[in-house]
Amino acid sequence: MSDADDLAAFREEIDGVEREAAKRIDPGTGALTIALAVMAILVSLVLPWINGVSGLRVLLGEVQAFVPRLFAFFALGVGVVGSGLTLAVRRWGLAWVCSLGLFAASVIGVLSIWSQQTTTSNKSVGPGPGFGLVLAVIAVIVLLVKWLRIAASRPPHL
């Protein structure tokens, strides 16, 4: 009876290890792309976003631009902090949270570019987005694609 109990305990331990491994992700070489996109977001914060004003100043609220400021919060929060945390702990759930947050950030980012191209006056066009804003939106979209691929790559039986 002792051998059967030992075998059952051993089987339970193996099943526990399998369940724990199923919760983890392995980004593989995609981690480098994620790190480069995160770096691009950080660099974009010092580049001009709106009328020559840097992304960091937009984030701090020095410019009255609601949509670009909201995008800056999403890009920094989900794109930088969320991606870093997810790469550190490597959990499936966090990969999905990053994917959903980056989807919202990409939509807000495209809206912030659009909001800089239009104005309430019909006599002139908007000032146009700065290079930093465009770089940040592209980096967020790259992160979205990478995290979505990683999150969706989980085998269906786990």
Number of folded domains that form the chain: 1
Q: Is residue 97 part of a domain?
A: yes
Residue-level pLDDT at 122: 47
Residue 109 and residue 48: Cα distance in Å, rounded? 15
Q: Is residue 2 part of a domain?
A: no
Q: Is residue 157 part of a domain?
A: no
Q: Is residue 158 part of a domain?
A: no
- pTM of the entire predicted model: 0.82
Q: Is residue 52 part of a domain?
A: yes
The string of pLDDT tens digits covering residues 40-79 is: 999 999 999 988 899 999 999 888 889 999 999 999 999 9
Q: Is residue 8 part of a domain?
A: no
Residue-level pLDDT at 27: 83
Q: Is residue 75 part of a domain?
A: yes
Domain that holds residue 126: 26-152
**Strand, coil or helix: 16:** helix
Cα 30 off chain centre by = 13
Q: Residue 44 is encoded by which pair of tokens? A: 């974009």
Q: Is residue 9 part of a domain?
A: no
Residue 125 has pLDDT above 60, yes or no: no
Q: Residue 80 is encoded by which pair of tokens? A: 């930088």
